[in-house]
Amino acid sequence: MHRIALVLFAAVFAAPAAAQLPTIDPAGQYRLIGPSARSDSRCIGRPETPLCAVETLLACFARRDTDLCRIVWSIGPAGLGFETTQHWRYWWGYRVAAAEQVSADEAVIAIAGRSCGLQLSEPDCGSTAAAPPTRYRVRQVAGGNWQVLDWQSQPGDPTPIR
């Protein structure tokens, strides 16, 4: 009897936690990533959920911050070659278009985004058309954080997102 209880206990607590999937944003409602003081996400740099991992990667590119990239993506020792003295930053408008749990420790988050451009001040992204969604595949790693494994974007891809 104790052996069965121990096996059940180990199975329940050793299994990876289910992904904390984000809610889908309504069409036309966009979040913003820019400088750290003006990004809508409050978890950039702390990939505790699948969406936080994706937002950290988006911020890495928008801010040209290799350290953010390294937190969620394996980029190698050479880094990405971002110019650290650059004052201009990209602004990125995005919405969660879909989220799917692939397994207990893997998920796919589809982000429909639009580049708001390279600017010094907060942009008006309303006139920029959204690109087809990019699908980010993320996996939970030891310690409970999430890593971006890869992403895929096909311009003009008419395939609906599940």
Burial (Cβ within 10 Å: 0-12, 13-18, ≥19) of residue 2 = exposed
3-class secondary-structure state, position 47: coil
CA quadruple 149, 11, 49, 72: dihedral positive or negative?
A: negative
| Whole-number Å distance between alpha carbons of 8 and 2 | 10
Question: 83-94 pLDDT, tens per residue?
Answer: 655 555 678 889
Architecture of domain 17-152: Roll (3.10)
Which amino acid would we find at residue 150? D
Is pLDDT at 17 greater than 60 in this prediction? no
CB 113 within 8 A of CB 130: yes
Looking at residue 18, its pLDDT comes to 57
Q: Quick one: pLDDT at residue 12?
A: 41
User: What does the pLDDT read at residue 81?
Assistant: 64
In the chain, what percentage of residues exceed pLDDT 70? 69
Q: Where are the domains of the chain?
A: 17-152
Q: Is the pLDDT of residue 26 over 90?
A: yes
- The per-residue pLDDT for range 97-138, each reduced to its tens digit, is 999 999 999 999 999 988 777 666 666 676 667 778 999 999
pLDDT of residue 132: 85
Q: What share of the chain is helix, strand, coil (3-state, %, to 5)?
A: 25, 30, 50
Q: Are 40 and 31 in contact (CB under 8 A)?
A: yes
pLDDT of residue 15: 45
